[in-house]
Amino acid sequence: MNCKEARALLSAYLDQELEAGARLALAGHLDSCPICRTEERELAGAVRLLHLFGQLGGPLGGDVEPVEEKGGVQGLSYRTIIFEVEEGVATITLNRPESLNALNQEMGRELLAALRECGSREDIRAVVIKGAGRGFSSGGDIKAMLKVFDQVPSLFFTTDLASLHEVTLAIRELPKPVIAAVHGYAAGAGMNLALACDLRVAAASARFVEAFVNMGLVPDMGGTYFLPRFVGPGKAAELFFTGQPIDADEAHRLGIVNRVVADEELGKAAMDLARQLARGPTLALARTKALLNRAFEQGLARQLDDELQGQVYCSGTEDFQAAVRAFVEKRPVTFKGK
């Protein structure tokens, strides 16, 4: 297959007229052709958008469908996650318990849609991510990798993982606090999904493992970005190189998790913390999160300037004005997130 043929196949795929065998051939070309991977960037980038993996029996499809939620609010229907909103807190539950909530492209797409909904809704002021069943997440879906292993071994990573990396960015860019409530295993990409969140509450049963080395892979979903910031480069190297699990208490000692609670208290502890944050000054929290995102990337002078600009912005918010009045009147303040 040459690049001209690949472009023709790509056009047919987007028109939903490409059969399974041709899709695999297209995927193989886009994955291996040095021209398409460098000069023809629109083709290489298209791999991230096409549902080549897991969609070989039909055309594109698989998108989340809009439905009418209770109360007449327009929402989304999901198959791999559960999305709920209560008291200003959105709870996103990874809902593939039969695979220990293994992460695949469909879940990545749905997580991204849910996070975008959280960002667009004023009634949502904090987010909790948790797992259904026996654990938080076992990481990347190994069975999904095996389906394409003999044809295009890298296909899972150029499609599924690419969508999951967008989830990592969406969590960090979401201007609202995100809490991971972790029980059981958080392995590989599952651990790094938790690291991408702003705060982590762990059950006593939680186990964290950077399992990539056990599969002959490198860390992904931002693991090499986040973990050294929590534990330092030396300890991060040990956890990455050995693939040995650590329990909740050790994770707390290392600063990976913020709190450890009994398993039966995890849900309440995470929601209590989320409700506390949801009652906070949402705009100030958003700018604090943005400052933290940049803290390791720029010098002190630039960070001080960004803090100054943040204060100037927050001084014009309703929440700041309400807090000043409450302070003078010696009463509790009620923040409205405005």
User: Given this model, what pLDDT does residue 286 score?
Assistant: 93
Q: Are both 174 and 215 inside the same structural domain? A: yes
Contact 97, 134 (CB under 8 A): yes
User: Given this model, what pLDDT does residue 49 score?
Assistant: 36
* Cα separation, 233 vs 108, whole angstroms: 28
User: Given this model, what pLDDT does residue 61 score?
Assistant: 32
Q: Are both 85 and 204 inside the same structural domain? A: yes
Kindly report, residue by residue over 235-262, the tens digit of the pLDDT. 999 999 999 999 999 999 999 999 999 9
Helix (H, G, I), strand (E, B), or coil: what is residue 185?
strand
Q: Classify residue 108: in a domain, yes or no.
A: yes
Q: Classify residue 166: in a domain, yes or no.
A: yes
Q: Classify residue 65: in a domain, yes or no.
A: no
137 backbone dihedrals φ, ψ, rounded to 5°? -165, 140
Task: Report residue 298's pLDDT band, with 50, 70 and 90 as the boundaries.
Answer: confident
Asked whether residue 176 carries a pLDDT value surpassing 70, the answer given is: yes
Angle at 192 between CA 189 and CA 194, to 5 degrees: 115
Q: Are both 128 and 210 inside the same structural domain? A: yes
The CATH number covering residue 119 comes to: 3.90.226.10
78's enclosing H/E stretch is none
User: Given this model, what pLDDT does residue 112 score?
Assistant: 93
Task: Report residue 29's pLDDT band, with 50, 70 and 90 as the boundaries.
Answer: low
User: Given this model, what pLDDT does residue 203 score?
Assistant: 97
Kindly report, residue by residue over 252-293, the tens digit of the pLDDT. 999 999 999 999 999 999 999 999 999 999 999 999 999 999
Q: Are both 234 and 122 inside the same structural domain? A: yes
Q: Classify residue 62: in a domain, yes or no.
A: no
Q: Classify residue 139: in a domain, yes or no.
A: yes
Q: Classify residue 335: in a domain, yes or no.
A: no
Q: Are both 294 and 266 inside the same structural domain? A: no
Task: Report residue 336's pLDDT band, with 50, 70 and 90 as the boundaries.
Answer: confident
Asked whether residue 72 carries a pLDDT value surpassing 80, the answer given is: no
Q: Domain range spanning residue 288?
A: 282-328
Q: Are both 168 and 213 inside the same structural domain? A: yes
Asked whether residue 47 carries a pLDDT value surpassing 80, the answer given is: no
Q: Are both 303 and 266 inside the same structural domain? A: no
Asked whether residue 210 carries a pLDDT value surpassing 90, the answer given is: yes
Taking each helix axis as running N to C, give the angle between helix 41-49 and helix 20-32, from 0 to 180 degrees, rounded to the nearest 10. Answer: 130
Q: Which residues are CB-contacts of 107 (< 8 A; sequence separation ≥ 6)? A: 80, 81, 94, 96, 101, 164
Q: Are both 32 and 145 inside the same structural domain? A: no
Partnered with residue 187 across adjacent β-strands are 209
User: Given this model, what pLDDT does residue 159 score?
Assistant: 67
Kindly report, residue by residue over 307-330, the tens digit of the pLDDT. 999 989 988 998 899 898 889 888
Q: What is the pTM of this model?
A: 0.75
Which tokens in the block code for residue 5? 């043929």
Q: Classify residue 236: in a domain, yes or no.
A: yes
Q: Which residues of 38-52 are buried (b: 16+ CB within 10 A; e: fewer)?
A: eebeebbebbeebbb
Q: Are both 269 and 286 inside the same structural domain? A: no
Average pLDDT (125-146) is: 89
User: Given this model, what pLDDT does residue 173 score?
Assistant: 93
Percent of the chain with pLDDT over 70: 73
Kindly report, residue by residue over 57-71, the tens digit of the pLDDT. 332 234 444 443 333
Q: In this predicted model, which residue has the larger pLDDT, 23 or 321?
A: 321
Average pLDDT (95-99) is: 93
Q: Are both 182 and 260 inside the same structural domain? A: yes
Q: Classify residue 115: in a domain, yes or no.
A: yes
Helix (H, G, I), strand (E, B), or coil: what is residue 260?
strand
Q: Are both 38 and 132 inside the same structural domain? A: no
Q: How many domains does the chain have?
A: 3
The CATH number covering residue 297 comes to: 1.10.12
Q: Are both 229 and 84 inside the same structural domain? A: yes
Q: In this predicted model, which residue has the larger pLDDT, 296 or 37?
A: 296
